[in-house]
Amino acid sequence: MTDPSTRPGHDRLAGRYAIVVGGGSSAPGIGNGRATSLLLAREGAFVTVVDRDPSAAEETVAMIRASGGGAAAVGADATDDLGCRAAVERAAGPTGQIDVLVNNVGVIGEQAASAVDVDLAEWDATMRTNIRPYLLFPRHVIPRMSAGGAIVNVSSAAAIRGVERLQYATSKAALLGMTITMAAQHGPAGVRVNAVVPGAVWTPFVERRIEDDTVRAEQRARRRDRNMLRREGTAWDVAHAILFLVSDEARWITAQTLVVDGGETNMLTS
């Protein structure tokens, strides 16, 4: 797929201020957060890219600026309340407003475990990293949002199907419940909250976990063939779903979960 961020935009987000948490990339290339940052900027938003790695955020910002967009980078620990508040204050527009928030933070963890054998320290660390930012950023953003504000929480297909890591699946499923309740609580103020559930998307984060070239090629082919379309998903597919949900085209959509997986979670099994 060619880089969609280089295509002409349609000013769907012109004049709006957006935050993408986790908008850098853990390895060279285009991950979900970076692709989302690029697409929101292409559509006219001023994007503040927040990442725990300031250099990764700066790289995304450089790509946005090279395409003529507006952006700023903020290095922050998304699990720290004061750091989140400071990041939001830096991202606010001239009147103090924030229009769009995309939460894209998460770790998979190293341990494949069940409730019987999961390491409690890893459980606690996963919950802190995978859930806390989804509370802290809205905590400081929502008071700055007016009617029309939009939040998208990036979950995972692990939230809706059985996987080998209980701690990861549980944390990502929690985000879906959080999304619905936040939507109900803040809907009367005109703030929409939705979730995106990516499936087996091939990203730098996935690629860097597989060192052997032969194994990488085999796994990539297996992941592609597991979905109904027999087509590999990319970060751009996730980013386009997020762009839709934060745009005015989705003005009457809230408390929803949009699964972006080529139909994999509904595949027939023998």
pLDDT value of position 7: 77
pLDDT value of position 213: 75
Residue listed under structure tokens 């109900």? 184
Helices 32-42 and 54-66 pack at an angle, to 10 degrees, of 30
50: helix, coil or strand?
A: strand
Global pTM value: 0.94
User: Around Cβ 7, how many Cβ atoms within 10 Å?
Assistant: 11
pLDDT value of position 1: 59
User: Around Cβ 87, how many Cβ atoms within 10 Å?
Assistant: 24
Tokens of 43: 């559509």
Q: Where are the alpha helices (DSSP H) in the chain?
A: 32-42, 54-66, 81-91, 120-141, 166-186, 204-207, 213-225, 235-246
Active site residue 168: yes
β-pairing, 100-103 with 70-75?
unpaired
Render each residue's pLDDT in the chain as its tens digit; 270 residues. 567 877 788 899 999 999 999 999 878 899 999 999 999 999 999 999 999 999 999 999 999 999 999 999 999 999 999 999 999 999 999 999 999 999 999 998 878 999 999 999 999 999 999 999 999 999 999 999 999 999 999 999 999 998 889 999 999 999 999 999 999 999 999 999 999 999 999 888 777 777 777 877 888 888 889 999 999 999 999 999 999 999 999 999 999 999 999 999 998 764
The single residue of 123, 168, 205, 236 carrying the catalytic annotation is 168
Tokens of 162: 């059985």
pLDDT value of position 4: 80
Closest CA to 72 of 52, 39, 50, 94: 50
pLDDT value of position 49: 98
